[in-house]
Amino acid sequence: MENPEKNSILIVDDEIANHIYLTHLLGSDYKLILAKDGKRGIQKARELLPDLILLDIIMPDLNGYEVLAELKKENETWEIPVIFITGLNSSEDEIKGLSSDAADYIFKPFNPEITKLRIRNQIRIVNQIRMINHLSCTDQLTCIPNRRGFENQIEREWGRTMRENLPLSILLIDVDRFKLYNDTYGHQQGDVALQTISNKLIETLGRSSDFVSRWGGEEFAVLLPNTDLSGALNVAEQLRVNIEETPILLVSGEVTKVTVSIGAYSVIPTHDCLVGDFLLQADKALYNAKNSGRNRVCH
């Protein structure tokens, strides 16, 4: 069985012999994705978002410089490090490659040890950056993404759903009368309540693409890709009911419960739409839910 923890590498090269060689050299350590020309390489980079790209420069359709330029234009792929693999071995060629935003440069014919070391070093950097980003985008109390994590995710989903002409829905969730809960039971117990709610949100949502984050304080945000307003309202109501029915244990052994108000909004993103307006409409829906009695869903 393939190790799911392996980093992925996309190899873009028109020479099948190089695919075979690099598969033999790297296949036991990484998950490899193969593309035999620049257009397929760009497509696979967009679809699969590999951790690293090995990119030949001399190819018949798009050359490596053109492929790299396309990858650097797009939000989803511009951060993926690219190592040029090429027989162009003059210092001028290497300078040109590195000046084109390539992360590194490997000469053909391949030296197996140098090739493995240069790739290993780039993968280490990728993993270190990923860990730093994960820590900076994670809420310490609930261990779910924080506001920054949400902003990164909505940027990705906004672009994807716009390209695919699909709906994107959001739920803004506010814990009802949370200040009173904190005043009554203490802030430590308030933390327990927030942890319980975040766990229930994750437990209720059934798709891996659904995204839960702590919006701030006692508010949470849920992104529902490929979901229209009707579907979002169904999900919101299920979340509301499940949270209302979930017991929250006190240190004394007693049980408390909380309710939430939820604002839902859905849109098919276009170039005329703004993420800020999308969030504003969801916030207005949440305001309506709170001001029309709480413990309800509004849109």
Tens-digit pLDDT string for the chain (299 aa):
344 589 999 999 999 999 999 999 999 999 999 999 999 999 999 999 999 999 999 998 899 999 999 999 887 899 999 999 988 777 787 788 778 889 998 988 899 999 999 999 999 999 999 898 888 889 999 999 999 999 989 988 998 899 899 999 999 999 999 999 999 999 999 999 999 999 999 999 978 899 999 998 999 999 999 999 999 999 999 999 999 999 998 877 889 999 999 999 999 999 888 999 999 999 999 999 999 999 999 99
Please name every residue paired with 11 in a beta bridge, in sequence order, or none if there are none: 34, 54
Q: Which pLDDT score, from 0 to 100, does residue 98 have? A: 77
User: What pLDDT was estimated at residue 5?
Assistant: 80
> Residue 41 has what pLDDT?
95
| pLDDT in the model for residue 4 | 58
CA distance 286 to 282: 6
Q: Supply the pLDDT for residue 3.
A: 47
**pLDDT for res 96:** 80
Give the separation between CA 145 and CA 59, rounded to whole angstroms.
41
Question: What is the number of helices (H) and of strands (E) in the chain?
Answer: 10, 12
Fold of 8-136: Rossmann fold (3.40.50)
Asked about 245 being catalytic, the answer comes back as no
The architecture (CATH level 2) of 147-298 comes to 2-Layer Sandwich (3.30)
Please state whether beta strands 52-56 and 82-86 pair in parallel, antiparallel, or not at all (unpaired): parallel
* Residues constituting the chain: 299
User: Residue 224 in 3-state DSSP?
Assistant: strand
Which has the closest alpha carbon to 260: 225, 212, 188?
212
**Per-domain boundaries in the chain:** 8-136, 147-298
> Rounded to an integer, what distance in angstroms lies between the CA atom of residue 200 and that of residue 197?
5
SS3 6: coil
Question: Given 15, 155, 203, 218, which residue is catalytic?
Answer: 218
